[in-house]
């Protein structure tokens, strides 16, 4: 996964087909939610031990 955390806690993600997704950090819930594209139910999760990120889709993939 290619990512870069921007100062405003947004994480852009480049998909293999060159499209892009953007995740925004919610400091109250300590979660990253997909903000763009709005019609994809996905969440970005960070493992606090390893610092690695995982994208979880609503269908479990």
Overall average pLDDT of the 33-61 stretch: 82
Q: Using omega within 30 degrees of 0 as the cis cutoff, is the peptide bond preceding 19 cis?
A: no
pLDDT of residue 25: 84
Q: Band of the pLDDT at 43, cuts 50, 70, 90?
A: confident
Nearest alpha-carbon partner for 55 in 16, 7, 28, 27: 16
SS3 5: coil
* pLDDT beyond 70 at 56: yes
């Amino acid at each position: 996964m290619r990512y870069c955390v921007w100062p405003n806690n947004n994480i852009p993600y480049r998909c293999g087909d060159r499209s892009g997704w953007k995740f925004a950090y919610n400091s109250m819930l300590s979660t990253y939610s997909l903000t763009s594209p709005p019609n994809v139910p996905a969440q970005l999760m960070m493992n606090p031990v390893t610092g690695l990120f995982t994208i979880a889709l609503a269908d479990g993939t």
